[in-house]
Every structure is written in C-alpha cells, then in structure tokens.
Homo-oligomer: A and B are copies of this chain.
Amino acid sequence: MFANRMPRYEILDEDGIATLERGWRRILTDVGIEFDHPEALDALRGAGQRIEGQVVFLDPDFVLEQVALAPSEFDLQARNPERSVRIGGDAMVFSSVYGCPFVREGAVRREATMDDFERLVRLSQAFPQIDTPGGVICEPGDRPLDSRHLDMTFALQTLSDKPYFGSVTSAGNARDSIRMTEILFGGRETIEATPALMAIVNVNSPLRYDERMLAALLEYARAGQAAIVTPFLLMGAMAPVSIPAAIAQQTAEAFAGIALAQLVRPGVPVVLGSFLSNTDMQSGSPGFGGPESALGLFCTGQLARHYGLPWRAGGGGLTSSQTCDAQAAYDALNTMSAAFFAGANLVMHAAGWLESGLVSCFEKFVVDIELLRVLQEQFTPLQIDEESLAFGAHVEVGQGGHFLGCAHTLERFRTCFYRPLLSSTANFERWLRDGGLDATARAGEIYRSTLANYEQPALDDAVRAELEEYVMRRRRELGD
C-alpha cells in the first residue's frame, strides 16, 4: 500500500474554510436534506432534528458531533492479510473503475459481460498499484439483474485476495454482500472487529438520499462496515455552477449521511466521498479531467483533514474521451495527480475509466497503471543527504566527462530511476523496427500478457464450497 509522505497542496485559507463552513451549515439548517427512508427519519427525529415530510433540517453542531465519532483512520481487511489496507492518514488506496455498462478493447466498444468482469478483476489482482478491484468494475449485462451482485461478489472473492466493495443496489443485496463476506472471513465477529467491506453510498444530489442508498447505508453501518458517503455532483446539473457552492453542498450532503451512520452505530468507519465535476455547458454532457475536478479535490482534501475524516477522491483517471487517446491520458493524469497533491486516502476509478464512466477500457486500465506507477514514485520523498550528493562521482568524472560508466552509476543503475511499464523512450528507428506501436496499442499487449500470466490466489476448498452454495441458494430464491 502506498503512503503519500509528500506535502499536501492546500489552496484554502482560514477565511475560505470559514466561508465554506457558513455555506454548508446554512444548507443544513435552512434548506435541509431529504431522507427517503422511515428508519433514517426515525433515527434523526430521535436525535432531536426537526423534520418536515421527509426533509430533515439538521443542527450543524449536532452534525459535527456525529462526524467527530467517525474514526480518522481505519483498517480494511483483505482475506490475504498482506493485502489489507489502511484508510486515512498518509495511506492512499487505489480502486479500479466502477459502474460501467460498456467495455472497450481496441476498436471494439460493446456491452459488458461477466467474462469482462472477471478479466478486469484479474487485472486488478495482477497489478500491485491497485489495492482493490472495487466492486462493479463493469456491469455484467449478460447476468440477471436481480442476482448478478452474487456473481460479482463471488468473482471478487475468488479471483482476487484484495479487499472489495459491497453491493448497494438494495438492502437485500447489501445483506448478501455482508453474509458472503462473513463466510469468507470466518464469521460476523471477525468483520465487525475490523471491517472487510466498503460500500459506495451515493447521495441523490441535490440534497436527497433515496431509499435504496439509505437501505444500504443502514445495513453496512449496522454491520460495522465502511460506507463511502459520496455526493455525486456535476455542477450545472446536481449543484450550482460554482466550485465553492458545490463544495459547501458536498460537505452538507456527506455530513448528513455520516451523521446518520454514526447514529446507527457510533464510531462506525466512514469515508467522506467527493465526486465533483461539471457539465460542459456547450455539449450538455458531463466533463471530466478539467480544472474544476482538480480544484474540487484540493478543497475536499483540505476540508477532510480539517474535520478529521478519511476521504475519497472521485477519481482517479477520469476523462470524457471516447477512446484511449491523448485526451484520455491528459484528463486522467490531471485528476489522478490532483488526488496525489491533495492527499486523497481512497482514489476510486484509478484504472480503466473511459467515456465519462460509461466504459471500462482495457487499454486505459494499463495507461492508468502507468500513471499510478509514475505518481507513486513522484510522491516518494527525496532523500537529501551526503550520500545522495554523490560528490565522488563529480570528482571521478570532472569537466566534460560522462557519468554512465562511473562507479556511482554502476552501483545504482538498476534502481536509480523510474522504470516504465508502458512508456517508450526508444529512438525512432528502434521504435519503428519494434512495430511502431503507439502507447494504446502497447497497452493492449500488456493487458493481454498480464491476463495470460495471471495466477489465481489460493482459497480454502470448504470456504469456496460454502460461497458457491450460498450463491446458488440465493440465486434460486431470487428466481434466477
């Protein structure tokens, strides 16, 4: 797991933080948040919050007290203990793209299948830069809607030994995720002691939690699992066309959900989620990778630290590009590097995102892995000491010489610099001889060879059998 021990890039001064706090407080008290779930309304009413219909007018001081109950850092278990991660502090955890109905391979764009899902889980397992495949790495459209969460969870559990996300599509699905995780980890107690699931709870922004997401939030909170409470804000659609307004809204919405989770189970781990971008006012479509996404990340990171919460960066390798081209690359790096500068604790959509999140792209997956490799090296503190000054090399080489053959270089040439996975520095003639492939074509070769060399992590036969039995039984019960 990567720890970001470099400085944070912070752009808010105290006045700015105070102005934003005035903003989110006023949204909670004067406009309120809608909760479309009786149990949520009961819990908030019981905590003395004023309610009209389904709209809860929250007391900001109460909300801050609830937020303070959430741990600033927590551990997330993997079935392979070496793959367990920390969420919070200096730790940065990277998860693959989530939620795409389509996949792209080379020039082919098509509906995603369970086979695609499994291959993307294998890629997530194979690349050490990815800490968790996440959850819905693509939507397996060839499996029945009612029960595909079982297939996905089983694949996440068996094809990878990294942590994974739980299903949030209904209370029942959340319970299935939790039950299957209990089986994998040897019982409820183990995962209550240290959570083994994260679940993305999206706000139905603006200012509304729908029944489905609240049901999932309540299930995961009760089980002591970690909700990533994420306002989904495209400015111009779900938020005003102003970054400060959107940040105030994001804080109000996320804090309201976090306050509810803490009412259900005080101290339950949560993650402050951010997924902030803008509508392209010319095309009317969502825009990703631009300045607004990066500025949103800088602000969110600073506020998360101010309020003592671990936080999620929306992405990760976001782009609106339709293909794995130059735009996809610069968009992705712009949000990915902003997540590093801002010190995000969980970076979702860190590999494979294309076409505004509609497409899981295999080549883009490898491009993003290269970005993660570069940035993880770039955000490792320089050691500056007498040895690093390499004075002896200067004495040896002197004026007008060459350092390639000097002792200092010979001792270090294997490890002294970043070694690319995808990028090529070959000269033009050599590159032509090697086929003249651009980076996307080379990425295609890399993901295919990675899949060919994939090794499935071992799993106890009895546990696998129990998971299979559970999936089959539940699939029957669901009528699929």
Interface residue ranges, A against B (CB under 8 Å): 6-7, 9-12, 15-16, 19-20, 22-23, 26-27, 30-34, 55, 109, 204, 206-208, 235-245, 248-249, 278-283, 285-292, 294-295, 299, 320-334, 337, 341, 355-356, 358, 367, 370-371, 374-375, 377-378, 381-386, 388-391, 393-395, 397-404, 406, 408-409, 412-414, 416-420, 422-428, 430-431, 436, 438-440, 443
Closest chain B CB from A354 CB (angstroms) = 10
Query: Are A416 and B241 within 8 A (Cβ)?
Result: yes
Query: How many angstroms between the C-alpha atoms of A282 and B279 in the bound complex?
Result: 43
Which residues of B sit under 8 angstroms from A404, Cβ to Cβ?
A: 236-237, 279
Which residues of B sit under 8 angstroms from A299, Cβ to Cβ?
A: 382
Closest chain B CB from A434 CB (angstroms) = 10
- Please judge, given known A-B contacts A244-B384, A419-B282, A428-B358, whether A207 and B398 are in contact too, CB under 8 Å: yes
Query: Are B355 and A402 within 8 A (Cβ)?
Result: no
Which residues of B sit under 8 angstroms from A287, Cβ to Cβ?
A: 417-418, 420, 423, 425
Which residues of B sit under 8 angstroms from A280, Cβ to Cβ?
A: 417, 420, 425
Query: Are A291 and B418 within 8 A (Cβ)?
Result: yes
Nearest chain B residue, comparing its CB with the CB of A393:
B240
Query: Are A326 and B33 within 8 A (Cβ)?
Result: no
Nearest chain B residue, comparing its CB with the CB of A239:
B403
Query: Are B283 and A426 within 8 A (Cβ)?
Result: yes
Query: Are B326 and A400 within 8 A (Cβ)?
Result: no
Query: Are A399 and B55 within 8 A (Cβ)?
Result: yes
Which residues of B sit under 8 angstroms from A356, Cβ to Cβ?
A: 425
- Please judge, given known A-B contacts A384-B12, A394-B207, whether A389 and B438 are in contact too, CB under 8 Å: no
Q: What are 26 pairs between A and B in contact, CB < 8 Å?
A: A9-B341, A31-B398, A33-B399, A236-B416, A237-B404, A238-B402, A239-B403, A241-B412, A241-B417, A242-B389, A242-B416, A244-B389, A245-B388, A278-B418, A280-B417, A280-B420, A285-B426, A287-B425, A292-B418, A320-B425, A323-B436, A323-B438, A325-B325, A330-B332, A341-B341, A358-B428
Task: Tell me which of B11, B324, B424, B430 contacts A321 (CB under 8 A).
Answer: B424
Most chain B CB inside 10 Å of its own CB: which residue of A27, A55, A399, A402: A399
Nearest chain B residue, comparing its CB with the CB of A429:
B322
- Please judge, given known A-B contacts A206-B394, A326-B439, A398-B206, whether A417 and B292 are in contact too, CB under 8 Å: yes
Which residues of B sit under 8 angstroms from A15, Cβ to Cβ?
A: 384
Query: Are B394 and A278 within 8 A (Cβ)?
Result: no
Closest 5 CB pairs of A and B: A291-B378, A326-B329, A245-B390, A241-B416, A325-B438
- Please judge, given known A-B contacts A16-B384, A333-B334, whether A390 and B242 are in contact too, CB under 8 Å: yes
Q: So how many copies of this chain end up in the complex?
A: 2
Which residues of B sit under 8 angstroms from A358, Cβ to Cβ?
A: 428
Query: Are B323 and A420 within 8 A (Cβ)?
Result: no
Nearest chain B residue, comparing its CB with the CB of A337:
B337
Query: How many angstroms between the C-alpha atoms of A330 and B366 in the bound complex?
Result: 13
Nearest chain B residue, comparing its CB with the CB of A24:
B389
Which residues of B sit under 8 angstroms from A390, Cβ to Cβ?
A: 240-242, 244-245
Closest chain B CB from A403 CB (angstroms) = 6
Query: How many angstroms between the C-alpha atoms of A10 and B356 in the bound complex?
Result: 33
Closest chain B CB from A437 CB (angstroms) = 9
Query: How many angstroms between the C-alpha atoms of A378 and B299 in the bound complex?
Result: 12
Query: Are B206 and A403 within 8 A (Cβ)?
Result: yes
Query: How many angstroms between the C-alpha atoms of A189 and B358 in the bound complex?
Result: 62
